[in-house]
Structure 1
């Protein structure tokens, strides 16, 4: 008896065709799959809406089946499932399936239990079969009519594009198969229905599990309502193994426990997947720099595993482009490859030699009759090789790297699948061989580079020794130079000190000499007066002595004051900051207060003073030393620059610089300074007007004040006939 379901009988207009999805979650993929299968789809997300939907009075709007989310089914008793099942069949869907929940659903009246996630196509198939079993396409009402059932379900199987087996779980035998199943297994329908499912499999599955145990476990899971894809390896009547995938749907009608099995042959997919996986592993080996021999062996075994019965080889061509040297043939004895070692390629040198010479594929369907195999016919016969297809391995530059060959053990031409495999093999072999050649070339360059580095290192070591010797000599010379420099500095200091002492002596010599001369003269007069006093002093002698004493006193006082002034100026050469008071002040106000007494102290003709000081310039510095420096520059401009000119102008200017410093300048429009004198203006006791009352220390003291106490620098700019400008660059905040 064949148990089949009626799909071919037309439905009446009263047959409900709406599938209701009752779930709080959205299932857009499932809705689309049901719509494509020809069903009307309704969606609700509450229990009361689901109950209202199944109670529709119009036949065309009635619900044919409910897909109920377990989370919406109610408590442990699934009250909503019980109420819905009284009106329409219910398939409970669960995203967290369990055996306990499945039992609860079946007790509540559910027609089935779907374990999510699963393919929407599998759910549609379950729905279709359930409706076929139920009522939608049965021509009679009441008990199951086996006769009608057989004809209609058999038509369903015949029209299916997949291999379908209707399996009786109780008897463990198929009860119906379609033509696609007969073609897949290479057996007739009658033969198939007399064989158990395990009889259609090899004795052991690829994972080592006995096939009968694997089938029992698969059937048990299918009967539990577990809808998913089950892998199972079958065996063709010819002995060829078939990698299959099963999709199971449980059909329970009365005493019948049937499994609707849809079998897909995925052998090609598995082979293609194995090829992709193998390619990735080979590329990883190439990237890691694995040995070329290991890569080629792995590649050839991968290609041979794609088409059992093939034997593959790779021959390598030397860089001279004519000599065969080495290669790989993991499925052949070493003697076979040795026969080609050292071979010179040519147009009639076997398949591989000809392919490398011609740079094009060479196909030999019968090795025994092909003249290109003259001399190797016996070798091919020993190893059972009857046909060959060789392909040259080329780089992008059309350089031949070697050849890849597929050998057949029967007289034949290559198949389309072989063309695909050889293309993959040639591509991967080309990558590996070219990388190997480049690494070998890099190794040669590296070795050569190491030799060059060694030579260069020796040269550098010698140069280093010479440099160290020269450095030692330079160090000695530098030490001598430092000693010489120290001696020169000492001499310069002594010379400067001598100049300073000479200057001091020269300046003090005049007032002191004058005072000494007057004192000596007055001493002689005093002796004469005392002598005259003993003999009798006349009034006229006393009056002469007193007149001379008055004149001498005036000269002595004047010269002593001159000496005191000189000593005071000498003391200013070494600026004493300890006695200077620091404070904050505004520069424009300070200059204005300073200019008035300076101008008043000048003898006529007085110069015109121009003040160009930017307002608001604040300084935190020493106003005493600053005023002394400005006064010295002012006096230097009046005395040496202007020299009594009636049109003399002295300009005092100040402005802030971009670097935060303040530029304070004193300029005149006088005679200027000769270029040969300009470098000496800061030297002590240097003056261009000796005997005019100046000591030659004014600019020297000013330089010491600016660079010392005030923490700045001073510069002079002058041209003969164009005046002179002294510029002091000072920090707004003087150093501590």
Structure 2
């Protein structure tokens, strides 16, 4: 019994304990075909399975440890580099060292995201790197250009035959490269940085582990580029703050100083180390009240920006003025964590302002004294000036009177000639005995017609020159036509055509004789300009039209126009003339005074393509004010 049962059981138990202790390679050879033998066989099978699984797990653990080591090395490379080249080159070299059958290439996108350029490619041949440098970012533009265009992984298992690589076929066949997998390098927002590519020397596709590896590498490159960009921005910001011409101070939420820039140290004469941890109140001069600082703190602690001026003292106890802007800094949750003050030294400006204020006060006193001294002289000067202007205006009227007399003489010449001819005809008819009552009546009627024409000419002259005593309604077209009748002897011989258009029923309210004087002066000016510039066929157009509540008269000529330096208003200033010594400079000034001050209208001037244009707007109703 002991030999048959107990001894095999003890042996089986001993072997089982050794297997349980980890000796999975131990085998239990069954010595019988009974139940004990079957149990031995089951334990042996179990030990064999456990041994196989243990070896598999050990291999996987070793691989994971190896992968973790590689990832750790790669992470260390991308975290320690301080330049892009200092990251990409070691990273690509390390990957090629760990995987000898791989050629690694990293290409970077340009700022416009149009092309890819060389970033790192330790083992690719120089001629091939040059061929793909500047690769177009577009669909079906190699593995890299396509991945960058689509922003997704592109795997080409055989680049020799694939249509994406047709443009580079001549270069590929000169290399041993056959497969290319490209992973886009994207930032956290999906913006393109470049492409991470792996080349193989035989056609193949990636395994899940290889896909995970290329994704990890692309993410790490993206993180490194983001880190470098962020660090560069921080360096730029730091240099800007350190080199700023204004002083900058940053405090914590309680107002205790955490940072001051060199400009702050220079102005205060206190080192940053001495200021850190202290409140800016150590610089107070005492000029501002407690309420001033309470208002400042209330403003910024409520999340608002404060700006203003205050006086502080430096390390020597000397006062200085600052223009400051203090703003709160918030974290992601919107809580105020710090305050930043940007301050400019305005001590010199304040001193200049004080000097300027004192100077202005003294100047004001001198001006007031000078004004008092000149009051009487100014009155006398004004009276003399008004008298001089009145004399010049009278001279202008006398000059116009001479022109009007010449017009009358010209207008009378023709009727006088007709009367003289009629008188001679009477004598001839009498001598030829053709004189009878009918002939006499005919001669008398013709003579009276000429005398009436001469009388009307005198009446027109009298109406033109006689000042209007009061405002009244008058027909505008009729008034202008009266002036044209008087000036026709001056215009027709000079080949100047005058065209007057407008509704004869349009009336204005004002002084008709003064209005005629203005029209007379404007037409004379147009006549003189046309003659002076030698225009062969002169033309003056006068248009009268309603523009409620005014009647508008537009007078234009083809005399070349007015110098731009005199427009729009200098032309109407007293003694301003375009005729040199021939003009008094009073006509247009007097015209604007008549139209605007006496009649409540407007007189303006401009140039057209051919010459000058004057616009007169006259009220059609009596002013209610």
The structure carrying a bigger helix percent of its residues is 2
Larger radius of gyration: 1
* Common fold by TM > 0.5: no
Q: Normalising to structure 2: TM-score of the pair?
A: 0.34
